[in-house]
Every structure is written in C-alpha cells, then in structure tokens.
Amino acid sequence: MTGPYTQPLVYFFGQGRADGTAAMKEILGGKGAGLAEMTTIGIPVPPGFTIASSLCNHYIESNQFPKRLRVEVENTLQRLETATGKHFGDGDNPLLVSVRSGAAVSMPGMMETILNLGLNDITVEGLTRQSDNPRFAWDSYRRFVQMYGSVVFALSKRPFDHLLEEARQRCGAGRDIDLPLDEVQALVRKFKEVIRAETGREFPDDPVRQLWGAIAAVFESWNTRRAIDYRKLHDIPDSMGTAVNVVAMVFGNLGEDSGTGVTFSRDPSTGERTLYGEFLLNAQGEDVVSGSRTPLPIAALRDTLPHAYQELERVARTLERHFRDLQDMEFTIERGVLYMLQTRRGQRSGQAAVQVACDMVDEGLISEEEAVARIPPNDLDQLLHSTIDPTSRLDLLTTGLPASPGAACGTAVFDADRAEQMGRAGQPAILVRRETSPDDFHGMVLAKAILTARGGMTSHAAVVARGMGKPCVAGAQDLQVDEKANRFSVNGRSIGEGDWITVDGSTGKVFAGQAALVTPEPSGNFLRLMQWADRIRQLRVRVNADTPADAHRGRDFGAEGIGLCRTEHMFFDGERLSAMREMIVAPDTAGRERALAKLLPMQRADFEAIFRAMEGYPVTIRLLDPPLHEFLPHEEPETAALAVELDMPVEHLQTLIDRLQEVNPMLGLRGCRLGIVYPEITAMQVRAIFEAACTVASRKGRVMPEVMIPLTASVVEFRKQAFIVRQVAEEVFRERQITVPFLLGTMIELPRACVTADELAREAQFFSFGTNDLTQTTWGLSRDDAGRFLPHYLEQGVIEADPFQVLDQAGVGKLIQLACDLGRKTRNDLKLGICGEHGGEPGSVAFCDRLGMNYVSCSPFRVPIARLASAQAALAARGTMDRTRATV
Amino acid sequence: MTGPYTQPLVYFFGQGRADGTAAMKEILGGKGAGLAEMTTIGIPVPPGFTIASSLCNHYIESNQFPKRLRVEVENTLQRLETATGKHFGDGDNPLLVSVRSGAAVSMPGMMETILNLGLNDITVEGLTRQSDNPRFAWDSYRRFVQMYGSVVFALSKRPFDHLLEEARQRCGAGRDIDLPLDEVQALVRKFKEVIRAETGREFPDDPVRQLWGAIAAVFESWNTRRAIDYRKLHDIPDSMGTAVNVVAMVFGNLGEDSGTGVTFSRDPSTGERTLYGEFLLNAQGEDVVSGSRTPLPIAALRDTLPHAYQELERVARTLERHFRDLQDMEFTIERGVLYMLQTRRGQRSGQAAVQVACDMVDEGLISEEEAVARIPPNDLDQLLHSTIDPTSRLDLLTTGLPASPGAACGTAVFDADRAEQMGRAGQPAILVRRETSPDDFHGMVLAKAILTARGGMTSHAAVVARGMGKPCVAGAQDLQVDEKANRFSVNGRSIGEGDWITVDGSTGKVFAGQAALVTPEPSGNFLRLMQWADRIRQLRVRVNADTPADAHRGRDFGAEGIGLCRTEHMFFDGERLSAMREMIVAPDTAGRERALAKLLPMQRADFEAIFRAMEGYPVTIRLLDPPLHEFLPHEEPETAALAVELDMPVEHLQTLIDRLQEVNPMLGLRGCRLGIVYPEITAMQVRAIFEAACTVASRKGRVMPEVMIPLTASVVEFRKQAFIVRQVAEEVFRERQITVPFLLGTMIELPRACVTADELAREAQFFSFGTNDLTQTTWGLSRDDAGRFLPHYLEQGVIEADPFQVLDQAGVGKLIQLACDLGRKTRNDLKLGICGEHGGEPGSVAFCDRLGMNYVSCSPFRVPIARLASAQAALAARGTMDRTRATV
C-alpha cells in the first residue's frame, strides 16, 4: 500500500477533462480508463470518478478505507456536483449515481453494479419533479432499494422478487413500469422492511452513506466464489483488484425518446463497416442484461431515434479513429441525448479480424505492420476450415483432443472399407475407430472426418488427418468403441452405424446429430494480410508434406519449401504397403533388397513430383523413422490375408510379427537405428531421392534436397548413415552424369543430441528440431499415454499448457537453445529449423524467432498461421509489436 | 618424424648398464623397457639393443629407414660385439641374435620373432665349435633359414614343414633334433632353394643384411590383418607402433643342462607366494609355444637344475621388490646359467589380486593405498559369486545379458510353482521364462538362477535377481520359450523340464549340462582391503535394498545407508499383491483408501525392520514408481482367479486391465504422476514411513528417513507431492508426540529435471540420479527393447559400451553435471547421489566422485566394488592413483 499514498486514489472525469487516460487501465480498470479517455476527446459521457483498483485488496484485507480516500472522495464528489449542477440529497435537484466495478481485464457479469444511488424519500421527490414522472421516479427508487438490499446487504433476491411478483399479479401489470404508483411506493416500504427484518439494520437514507456502502460492496464482490473461480479459469491474478466507477446517472427509461443498448463499431462476425448491436427503448441497462425484454437490432434505432443514431455513428467513428480499432460500446439515450457509458476493444471472429484490419489499413487508420500485429494467428484457423454455426443447437457427446482442425458432419462408420464405400458413393461418413493404423488409410482418405478413442495429438489418425486437412478428434477417452458391433457408447449414450454425428477438430468436441456448418470463403484480404506478413517476417515457413498432393497444398498456402517429408507415409497404402511388409518379414539382406527394389520406383516417382511441386525450394526428406511393426497388421484376419499374399504359413508370420513387438516402441528400433541395422533401407531411400533429383535437374528444374537422418543420439550414428548417403549420392551422380547440390543434416529429437550438438554440427549441415519426440523424451512422457494424466495436470495447474501443443520453453526450450548454441559454436552457418507440431503454434514460432532459427515447418493448414506468427515475432523483436498492441 | 631426430633411435643394454629404463615403455615397448631395467638392476640378461617404436610407422609409410638409424644400429652393434666378445659373421666366435617385436601394450603372438640370426655357412661352423655339437648348430641354422623364409620373405610355412616332415619320416626321427646331421644340412640347402624358387631372391648370407631384413619384417608385422584386428578389438591405437629388440642369443637347447620356460613370481590364480609356471629342458622358446612337447611344472626345475631354480627364485624376488608387483617372466637356461628374456606385470584372478596386494603390504613392498589402487574393482565379483571352473568342458547354448552375476547349475523349470516346489525339496532348479512378472516372485526366491528370453538389464527378472544376489541371464533373444510345453529351443537345440543347464550371470552365457563351479571363500584379506578402501574414499556407499533382508545383506557388505528403497517391491508378494490389486481396480477414492489401509500396516512393518537394520544410517525411500498395470495379471487364468478373489465379473476386470495398458509404459502414468492423480497413495506410503520412524525413534533407535519423489519433471509436481509428505509427517508427529528429522528430495531421471534443477533445488533437499531412466530418456532408448540393436551398435563401434552398464559420460553425464551445477547454485548444501545400476560400475563411480557427489548406491553384491572404486577415485583425485598405476 505504498502506491496509493503517493498517487491519487480518485480520478475525476467530466466537462471535457479527466484526471485519467486510456493508458491507465492498471489503475482505473478498463471501464474507468475508457470513460476518462472518452471524456477527454469530447465524447458525451456523464461525469463521474473512478476509485483506483489498488484500494480493492487493501479494503478486502483490512475491511476499512484509508482516511485519505474519504477526503479524496468527498472532494471529488464536490467536483461532480459542480459539473452536474446537482447535489447529493438535494430535494430539488438530486445527484444520482451508478456505482460499478471495472477491473483492468474484462470479467463480464462477475461483479456488482448499483444504479440510482442517491435516492431516498426526499430526493425521490426531486427526481419526480425533474422527470415529471412520479411512477418513473418511484420505480427507480424501488429498483435502487432492491439492488442495495441484495448487493450491499447481501440478501437473497428471492423475498424482493416475491413481493414484486405478488404486486404485479395483484395489479395485472405486465411490466414493472406498469405498476400503479401507490403499489410502487408500497414496495419501497416493504423492501426496506425486508432489509430491517433480515439484517436488523436500517436502509441508509443518507446518499453519502449509501455511496460508501456501495463502494465497499463492489470491492467485496472481487472476492466472491464465482469471481475467484472465473479468475482462476482465465488466469487473472487475484492481486489485480477492481476499480470502482461512480458515474452520474443518465436514464434510458424516461420514455419512448430514451433507451439503452450495446453496439460494436463494425460487425464482429464479418467485419462489415456498420454498427452492429442491439437496444431497448425506455429501459435501463439491467433490462437488457436480464433478458426480460427482447432487444431490437441497432439498425432499428436509425428509424426510431435518427438523431441519436447519427450521433452514435459519429461517436463510433471518432472512437475508432482514436483507438484505431473495432470498439464495443455501451450507451444510454436520455430524452434523445446520447451518453456513452463504456467503450472497449471489441472481440471479433477470425474473419472479421482480417476484414477490419485490412479495411483500417485502407482507411489510413493503421499501418500494415499494425494490421499484421493485431490478428491472433490462431484465428486464421476459422478462415481455413469449416466451423460449427454458433447459433446451432448442439448435443455434446464428449470431448477429445483437437487433433486436426475443422468441423464435419456425417454418419458413423466403424471400418475403413465401409468409409471408402460411402465416400465413393458421395455419402458423408465419419470413421470411428479405437485407433487407426496404416490399414485404415484408404478409408481415412474418403471419410469426412476421423474420430478415435485412443492416441494423442500425433497418433497415426492425427498426423494423417492433419496432412490431409481433414477434421480429426483423437483420444476421446470416454468412447467405448465396439468395432465388431459397429457402435460406440459414450457417457451412457449409444451411437451405431448410420447415426449422424458432428465432429469439431478445432475444439475436440463430438456432438450427436447433424450441426449446421459455416464454410469459409477465401478472401482477398486474407491474401493481402499474408503478403504484409511475408514482407515483415525473418523466419522462413515450410510445410510438413509427405506426398505430392500435400506439397502442392503447402505451396498454395505459401510454404517456402518442405521442412519435413516423412518418407514412411509413402508406404502406407496399397501395393507399397505390400512391398514394405515383404521387406520387413524377409529373412535376410537379399530378401530385403528384393522388396526394396520394388519400393524404389514408387519412392522415386513421389520424390520427383514433390521436387517439381516445390519449384526449387528446399525439400527436407527424413529417412525411414517408425518402428517396422507399425507397418504390420494388428489383427488376425489381416495377418491371415498377408500370410496368403506372402505365401507363408500364418503361424510363421505371426511369430515374426510377435518378435517385432516392443515394450516401448517410442524408444525402440526406429529412426537411424533402422538404417544402421539395415543399411540397405537407407541406400534405397537415398537412391530414390537422388535419382528423382537428377531427373528433375536434368530437365532444367531446380531442386534442393536436404537429406535428414532421424533420431540421432550420437555423432557416430550420423557419421555411419552420412557415409551411405554420400556414397549412394555420388554413385547416382556418376550414373546420371549430373550433380545436384544437397545438404545432409539431422533431426534433433533426443536430449542426447542436444547436449552433444557441438559434435553433431561437425558433421551435420543442418539441424531440424523434432519437438514432438524431444518433448516426449525430455519429459519422459508418451503422447499416446499422456491422456490419462495430462488433464489432471492441467486442472491442478501442474502445467499451464499441453507441452505437445505449446512448446515447453522452460524445459524443452532450454535443450533447444543449448543445441543451437553448441551447434553454431562448431559450424557458424548451421541451418536451424523446427519441424514438430509446434512449428505452427504462434508462441513456439516466436521462440524459434528469438533463437534465430532459419525456418519453422508445420502441417499445410497451419502454414498461414506460422507466416503470421513469424511476422509478429519479427515485429516483437523490433519492439513494434508492443507499441501496436498497447494502442489496441 | 621430428622426435626420432632429436632423441636416440637405438637403446643399448648390457654389462649392467642400459640406455633405457622401465619408464620408457612408450619408446622401447614393454619388452625393451623390461630388458633395459633388468640389466640396470643386475639381473642376468643377454646384452642387446632396442630400436624405438616411433620408427615403426615411419618405415611402414616410407618403406625405408632413416640414414641416422643405419648409423646408430651400426654403432650399437659394435657395442654389442664388445659386450659379448663375439662378432657378426665371425667363423670362430660368431655373434648370433634374436629379433623380436615389442609394443608398449602386450599383443601376445601377434607379431614376429626371428631367432639365431647371424648364422650362415661360415658362422655355423663357429657355432659348431662353440657348442661342440654340430647337429645343434645345423639345426639352429635350419630353424633360422626356415623362420627367415616365412617371416622376411613372407613365404607360406607349408613347403618348409613339408620338407621337414618328409625328412623326419625318412629317418624315423621323432623330434627335429633327432635328425641325422646330413639330413639337417640337406634341409638348410633345400630351404634356401625354396626361397630362391618362390621369390627369385637369394637367402642373404651377410648377417648385417639378415638383420635389416628382420627389422623391416618386424615393423611390417605391425600391419598384418590379424594385428590390426587385434588392436581394433582391444582399442589400441595404430599410431603406437612396435619397437624391435635385438638380443644376443642364448640357447636353451644345448643339452639337458639347458632349457627355457615362463613363470609367474606367485600363483596367479590364488596369489600364493611360490613360483608358478612351466619349462622344457633342451628346448628353444618356440618349442614351448608350438605345443609340440608338453612342458613340466616349474617346481620340477627345483630337482632338475636346483641352482638355476634358486637363481630364478632370487631373480623373481628381486624383480618383485623392484617392480613392486607380481611378475610374469620368460627365461632361458644355457648350460646351467640363467638368462632372463622378459618380465612384465602378471595378470591374475580376482582372488589372487587381493591376496598378492595384501601380502605385499605385509611384506612392506607396497603401501595400503597402492594395494587399493591396483585391484580392478570388478575383479571382486569373483570373490563374491560362484564362477564356472575354467577347466570345465562347456556346451554353449546361447548368450544373453549378464543381468545378475554368479554361476549356477540346475534343471530347467518353466513355471514359478514348480520352481518353488523343487526349491523346497532341495532340488536345484533354474527358472526359465519368456519374461518374469510379480506373479513369478515366489518361484524366483527358491530357484537357483533365472533365465529369460526378453527384458533388459533392469527388467523385473534382473532387478529382483540382483536384489537377491541370485544369478540371472536376461534377454537371451535366441531363446524360444514354450511355457505350455515346458521347453525352450535355442539355435536348433531343445531343452525340456528336467534337463540340466548352467547359467553364468556374470558373462550372460547359458550352457547345456552341469558345469563344475568354483565357490569363493570369503577371506580376511578381502575385509582388510575393504577397510583400507573405506579409509581412503570420499564417496559414501549405500545399497539399493527393498526389504529388511536386502538391508541386512547391504549392511554386511558395508553399505552406509540405503540409497534406493523401491517401495513397490514390497507389494509384489502374497496378500500384499492382493491388496495392491484391489486398490488398482477400485472404482473411487474411497475404495482405494480401503485397500491402501490394508497395505499400511505391511509397509509400516517393513520400514520399521529396514530402519532397524540400517542402525540410523540414512534410508532413501522412493514413493511408488511403476505403472499400476505392472501389478496386474497378464494372462487369462490369473485374471480369472483375481476376478473371483475380488468378487467381480471377469469381463469387467479384463476391461479395467485393458484400459490400464499403455503404448509406452516407460513414458506413461508412473512416478510422481501416480501420486498426483491418486494423492491417497502418497499419503498412505508417507504415513507408513513416519509411523515406522516414530516407533523406532520412540524406542531410542536412530532413524534418518529420506523421502524421495520419483520421476519429477517440474518443480510444481515436486511441490504438490512435498505438500502431502510434510502434511502427513506432521500429522504423524502430532499423533505420536515425537518428531523425527527427515529429508525430502527427488529422483532426477528425466532430462527436464536436469535442465530445471535450479528450480527443483529450491524445494528439494537432495537429488538422487536415477541413471537407468535418465539414460533411457536421454538416448530415447528402452532397456527392454534395446536388445534388438545394441549388439549391432557395439559390434559396429557406434557405442563403446552398453550405456545401461557404463554411464555415458559424454551425453547422460553432461546432463548430470548440468543438474549438479544448477542444483548447487540454488542450494549449496544440496545432497547428491546416484542410485541407478551405474552406482556399482567403477568408471561411473569415478565420474560421481569427480562431480563431488555425496554417495553412490548399488545392489548389495556391488557394494564392495563401489567401495573399492570410490577409494580409487579418491586416489585418482589426489594424483596417487596414476603414480601407483605407473609403477605396476
């Protein structure tokens, strides 16, 4: 409590002057700062004052106000009386005020408000005279006593509501305002009696006592259960406290030329430059909030009160010019005169965010940098994927992991063949599986969306779906999938084949039935914004693409190369899978080489198409990474079919499959370990890469392959694999009589690689951080199994975010930084990038920018997000970001 | 080649003086240094000279000798002629020499030797006169030409052997020496013809030319395939090179008063202070090597040539006094006169190492520190476990991982009940399983040894076996165990129940049949050595012990506390396992608490007994760590039995078990994650610990519990668990009205814990490095699955040692160092220890000592090894170790 004694505690605003400014949110709260700033710039605002938020916790702890506050409030009250020409307790011209909370961060509906403060048996007569409307005056008095009873005396609302309802029924009054005067007057008396009976205390008639009671109640409302819970949920510190705004009353309920409402300065869904909101004639704010009357769209105000509407439009434009952003405003019209009660930055949809930002650049309101700085990158998801119409009535079944964004509806199917069949017939199907395997691939291609009960954000289902830009909810733990019976049950419900479901891969939610979807249209503004972002950013953005189709999609989204081409995904379909399986079960090197020879032309053709799609941009190809058993059938009928195909006794095949099983496949025979145990696999893949590269180069195409060794733990592993790569590359160059420049580097995805990065960089020309696996090993945490306790961890605050979605900078990030530092110490032109899921997560992108990486790489649909996030990171590095953020 | 031009290239020894010393091994090789030193100290050594090893690679690369060498060799030859009074090429008194290789590191039999150099048609007459034995002289000449042909002219031995054999058969001569003179003379001519025919070159008659040819051949022998392979296998650098020793010939084949032999100065198996070796009368060195005649034990020399024997004994004692260690010597007796040809440090068994070191301390030869410094710690294993008699004839079936040391014989059994039954009946059984689970525990207790086909060095079988000090071979991949048929097949062999097998857990080897075993007897010397080690070492040594029995065994081996008490091992038997399973399948917290209440008194009783056994030494208790599914049955009959026990439908139980399965259990719901999801487990365990501690303390017992939170990744996890620990501890202290001091710390076994150790140390009072898991996560390598490629890695030299056996200092060690540094930065009295398998591995112990850790902890039978290794680490830190090593 040192601050409050050296800074003012109370900040007056009125008559075009204010003690506070918009920049003083911390002290005045959002509402108080807005009122002060509006006053200063000439917006019509009723005069008032704000009590600093720093007093809030002081009051809560000590249960008393500092003496200086009493002095300052008294002095400021005098300024308020002067400004309004009204006086507290004045029987002729009474000053009435509203008392509202207002923290630095918006906490809608969380804290208390008291209106009409200052009324008592004397001043109600003054209000009667002023308004020439006794029923209005007494109704205001009645509301005030009622509010005061529940807020300041903390009484239940029920006895008041009960008395009011009784009176209304007795008089047959539809609305409160229709009650006869004597009934209202009787209610005021009865309400005061309720207070006396329940608390043993008298309702205070003295407006100054009323005021202190209200201020205390607003401060105390900071500490109600629901406010505390809300803050916990939204990560708002308890120490922040709320300010208290005391504002001269204006009345929206003085007749049909009065009213109250809320409006955005532009449409927050579309960004259209037109007021968007709603209002009620002859009403006070709480009538809008309570929902007892249905408000009208703001456009209707143009006809009803055209002057007020014009004034509102003028105010909206002024505020937008001043704050240089979309505004969300509250207003009251008292007898045709507009008063603004609040303004703040308006929340908006992704589409509106882009539209507004671009329009404001065109209007000269903001710079292109500011436009780029103010779009939350993840909002772009809404521009790229279908979303559920927010007005839909939804029947939530369960929530899983948001594994691949977008929403889709379809009927549930439980096997891949059925999904494929329906897809070919043009019928929307959603493939529901306990988990997917390569055998499901053909069905996934034709399903509208994927839903799995097991597996994490990088399970087979999730990775494949993201690559295809198809919605996927993975790891919905509550789902009990009975694949034989073609149904799943969840929380007591049962869904069978043919039942409609809706899957939202952006939120992880699964609904019963067919929800209405909103499909985005690509806009020119989106492209402009991306261009601005591209001019600003330092980081290159690449795409994780495994097939020529992915590569093209990546280019369409602006990717400048492929950061991760997972060659194993090329093996997951049809005859490739067969050849792959033949290779895996081969008894010796010769057998493996025969099967690999079948795969060679397929891989070569894929690489050729990918190189062409990338038009000379770098393509980082990761050599075979997953454990071989991932390619083998998991169930008996498939094993039997494979045995026939391979002309092998099924028992023998089963033994081979069993032998390949691993206790911890994540930590088993995979990555470069495969290439070291079976060098012929590396040789085949490298041959495919360089034959494809030579073919493209020999037809004058540009091509820049970057061969990446996966899961390197020690420089010796790298050296062994690098030897094969260079040897085969030179062989191919000799055969084709052309040389293609290439880089040879490694994925950094093990802690050991990070701590020995200086040695690795002696041999490797680039590092690409595989942050998925690096997170798994650094935390000792399997993505596939974390679902059983990560929710507990998030709930109990052990972690702030799922480390597979948001890079754990304090832990994994330290290892990455160490690896970058050690690596560049040995090789100062070491190329650095990231290719895990985090490559498209804005906070993680900013981290990569700070470390001076060369690029980030992510799934196709996240490329625009990464481009925007990179630009914002660059602006933040220049210090521009903070400035532009502070003004919005 | 700068060195050789500034230092002498040739080092003479003879007549009691030598240019070299024992310290010049790098230059002179082991043999040359020994010859020089022996000469200086008055041991009878034939004179000669050594050519520096630095010339070896120079010659190999350039194929020529530097001019300076020719000059130095000529000069030194003159000194040799003076010393011997003989001359090269002299028909009356010819100088004959041997030419032998000799590198700084012994490479037995790897390189070349030429004897009798200097003989030609003229000098053979001189030798005839000198020896008065023409047949001897010509036989020597024959041998020389034969050797020269194969070594210098690199001819096949076959034509020479063929001619010799032919002659022998023709004359009916049993031994070469029995051939008539004219036959021998004919052979010399024929051999020279072979050389001429095969090479087109003449055998050189000039002794100086002979010498240069021999020197070149010795240098070249450094680069033969087998020498290169040997060096690779033993990690000897190619750059070392070999020296060349040219020594005046003495003849052990001049009659029955001559001979040659090898001897140790003490028995290298037992350490007994008596000459131990063998000799041949009337023979040259290669007769011993070739095995064509059977040598006699050295004791027989005492009767045959008593003077020579006494002289040999005197020389052995002199050499021991001089070199202060057991010597391994070669000698020749020429007409009753002893000449020493080589001396070096003698290899010895573990038992002999201890015996010799202690005896030498008693004899005043070495200090206690030197005794401690010179015992390879792992040799102690031989003193603690049974070993296979090295003279046994063995029938190797396969090799698995050496999971728990010692050897045992028994008949194979395939289930735990049968093992128990046989054990109770006093019949030796070896339990063979695909892998073991807690359900096998009762059988493991009574089996002689365990053999598994799957699982690594820290699989269930391995950990339990080590704890019990029982031999175990784990992860014998070639084994196909058919548990239903009660047999296993391996490499085409089939072993059924009742068949004898022998298991060597020190080497991982499995044999068919019943091998003879050697059972060590504990010796007083062993205890003395341990006492000396304890006086020297800085590191404390603790034991990993999970039961009161383990704790007692640990104390017996000298452990100063428990570094790791794995509480889960207490749950693996009988009614405990039942209560544990009941807890796991309980539907809610109340159900879990009911089951935990049953476990509480059992854990408390265990802790009480453990605290008492440890007599106030610290006991580090790790809270529950493994995934819960480890406690559940894996197979159907057991599941059915459990369902009956729990009064639960078997389908329901199976569903619960299935749900707990994990894709990567190593990275799943385990460690402190369990305690965070189920705080009641932590609370029960902590209550058991402190109730036990209070009971012991209240009866005047000393007790020092250290509560350890496992698998911590972030300080928040630690804080949450620490809160429960402190809360429950205080509850118990209040209830019992006594307070027990305790420490609260964490296991460091995840890379994230290492990089955030500064934060962890703010809360944790000690760190115990769990290097098993830390190795797994740092390398991304599952111990259970590594068996499929680690052998490839070792074979291809990707890694130098299994990182689960020898701490990977370059990778895992860097993280440990980082954690120590960061941790001590925050808390300067942070207690640091290691409790992984590496805690008993000498190199890793030295690493812990260098980092300034407080203690290491290992399984009971490795405690003595850790004590010795710690002492050696302390000596190394003082610089004493190097000095004592250099002199031995």
Q: Give 10-residue mean pLDDT values along chain A (888 residues).
A: 66 95 93 96 97 92 92 96 94 94 82 90 94 91 94 91 90 80 95 94 95 95 85 82 96 92 91 92 76 82 95 96 94 96 90 93 95 92 85 88 89 92 90 86 90 80 80 90 90 91 92 88 87 96 92 93 91 84 92 95 95 95 94 86 90 88 92 96 97 95 96 97 97 97 98 98 98 96 86 87 92 98 97 92 95 95 94 88 41
Helix segments in A667-811, DSSP class H: 672-677, 679-698, 715-736, 751-755, 757-763, 771-779, 790-795
**Cα A446 from Cα A449, distance rounded (Å):** 9
**Cα A79 from Cα A72, distance rounded (Å):** 11
Contact criterion met (CB < 8 Å) for A777 and B814: no
Taking contacts as CB-CB distances below 8 angstroms, the residues of chain B near A781 are 667, 713
* Mutant choice from B781, B795, B796, B821 vs A, greatest count of A C-beta within 10 A: B781
- For B413-462, write each residue's pLDDT tens digit: 998 989 989 988 889 999 999 888 877 888 888 899 999 998 777 677 88
List Cα–Cα distances, A373 to A320, A869, B452, in angstroms: 17, 9, 61
Helix segments in A452-523, DSSP class H: 460-468
Residue with tokens 């037109």: A274
Complete edge-to-edge strand list for the sheet that includes strand A242-248: A17-18, A10-14, A48-51, A242-248, A97-103, A113-117
**Cα A431 from Cα A446, distance rounded (Å):** 9
Helix (H) or strand (E) holding A668: none
Q: Under a CB-based contact definition with an 8 Å cutoff, are residues B368 and B879 in contact?
A: no
DSSP state of B330: E
Q: Is B489 on the interface with A (CB under 8 A)?
A: no
- In the annotation, is B460 catalytic? yes
Taking contacts as CB-CB distances below 8 angstroms, the residues of chain B near A662 are 782, 784-785
Find all residues with CB under 8 Å of B811, minimum gap 6, and list them. A713, A714, A751, A752, A755, A756, B778, B779, B803
Residue with tokens 């899957």: A503
Residue in chain B nearest A712 by alpha carbon: B779
Q: Under a CB-based contact definition with an 8 Å cutoff, are residues A747 and A835 in contact?
A: yes
Average pLDDT, chain B: 91
Cross-chain CB nearest to A814 (options B671, B755, B808): B755
**Cα B376 from Cα B393, distance rounded (Å):** 27
Show which of residues 288-317 on chain A sit within 8 Å of chain B, judged by CB atoms.
none
Residue with tokens 């807890």: B583
One-letter amino acid of A170: R
Taking contacts as CB-CB distances below 8 angstroms, the residues of chain B near A671 are 780
- In the annotation, is B629 catalytic? no
Q: How many CA atoms lie within 13 A of A171 on its CB side?
A: 19
Contact criterion met (CB < 8 Å) for A780 and B711: yes
Q: Which of B158, B231, B245, B165 is nearest to B194 (CA)?
A: B158
Residue A645: CB atoms within 10 A of its CB come to 12
If DSSP codes are grouped into helix, strand and coil, which group holds residue B85? coil
* Mutant choice from A458, A660, A682, A798 vs B, greatest count of B C-beta within 10 A: A798
One-letter amino acid of B187: L
List Cα–Cα distances, B113 to A3, A340, B552, in angstroms: 94, 108, 57
Output the six-digit token pair for A224: 């109600």
Q: Under a CB-based contact definition with an 8 Å cutoff, are residues A469 and A478 in contact?
A: no
The list of chain B residues with pLDDT below 70 reads 1-5, 109-110, 288-292, 458, 522, 880-888
- Minimal C-alpha gap between B625 and chain A (Å): 13
Contact criterion met (CB < 8 Å) for A785 and B667: yes
Q: Under a CB-based contact definition with an 8 Å cutoff, are residues B411 and B385 in contact?
A: no
E-state strands within B272-382: 276-281, 296-297, 327-334, 337-345
Residue A259: CB atoms within 10 A of its CB come to 29
List Cα–Cα distances, B876 to A234, A313, A398, B436, in angstroms: 58, 85, 63, 41
Output the pTM of the full model. Answer: 0.83
Q: Under a CB-based contact definition with an 8 Å cutoff, are residues A490 and A473 in contact?
A: no
pLDDT of res. A288: 67
E-state strands within A386-466: 387-388, 395-399, 401-404, 407-413, 429-433, 449-452
Residue in chain A nearest B800 by alpha carbon: A716
Tell which phi-psi region holds residue B109, choosing left (phi > 0), alpha (psi between -120 and 50) or beta: left
pLDDT of res. A497: 93
Taking contacts as CB-CB distances below 8 angstroms, the residues of chain A near B799 are 714, 716
pLDDT of res. A290: 63
Q: What is the dihedral of CA A223, A225, A229, A232, to 10 degrees?
A: 30
Q: What is the CA radius of gyration of chain A?
A: 33
Contact criterion met (CB < 8 Å) for B668 and A711: no
Q: Which of B878, B866, B881, B875 is nearest to B833 (CA)?
A: B866
Helix (H) or strand (E) holding A338: strand A337-345
Q: Under a CB-based contact definition with an 8 Å cutoff, are residues A570 and A583 in contact?
A: no
Find all residues with CB under 8 Å of A240, minimum gap 6, and list them. A53, A103, A104, A105
Residue with tokens 């630690």: B718
Task: Measure CA B320 to chain center.
Answer: 25
Contact criterion met (CB < 8 Å) for A777 and B751: yes
